Amino acid sequence: AQSVTQPDIHITVSEGASLELRCNYSYGATPYLFWYVQSPGQGLQLLLKYFSGDTLVQGIKGFEAEFKRSQSSFNLRKPSVHWSDAAEYFCAGGGYNKLIFGAGTRLAVHP
């Protein structure tokens, strides 16, 4: 069965530090992969998506993600975190006409 796993429930980083959020997928073929962000009290906003081609994908707000087929991973990165990046981040995989979400990673940013 298709599944998406985010191993880290909570992550805390200092402002200005680099960030990597992990995502692993289990799909039969190359999946369509997404990262969404949810700020407190808000709906989900798309950060970036991977369909095919270049395995390093650039998104909004300075985020990027790298698709690694050998590791079944699609990790989200940012070189320097801002306090406004504190939010919950969801990795998702595209199935037939629907998305399958991971459990989410809550990011806290210390000043």
Residues at the contact surface with another protein, assessed by CB under 8 A: 6, 9, 31-32, 34, 36, 41-46, 49, 51, 90, 93-104
CB nearer to another protein: pick between 19 and 100: 100
Other Cβ atoms within 10 Å of 63 Cβ, number: 20
Q: Is 85 helix (H, G, I), strand (E, B) or coil?
A: helix
CB of 46 to another protein, least distance (A): 5
CB of 91 to another protein, least distance (A): 9
CB nearer to another protein: pick between 78 and 93: 93
CB of 65 to another protein, least distance (A): 15
d(CA 70, CA 35) in angstroms, rounded, equals 19
d(CA 74, CA 24) in angstroms, rounded, equals 6
CB nearer to another protein: pick between 31 and 57: 31
Which single residue is written with the structure tokens 């191993």? 7
CB nearer to another protein: pick between 15 and 49: 49
d(CA 55, CA 45) in angstroms, rounded, equals 21
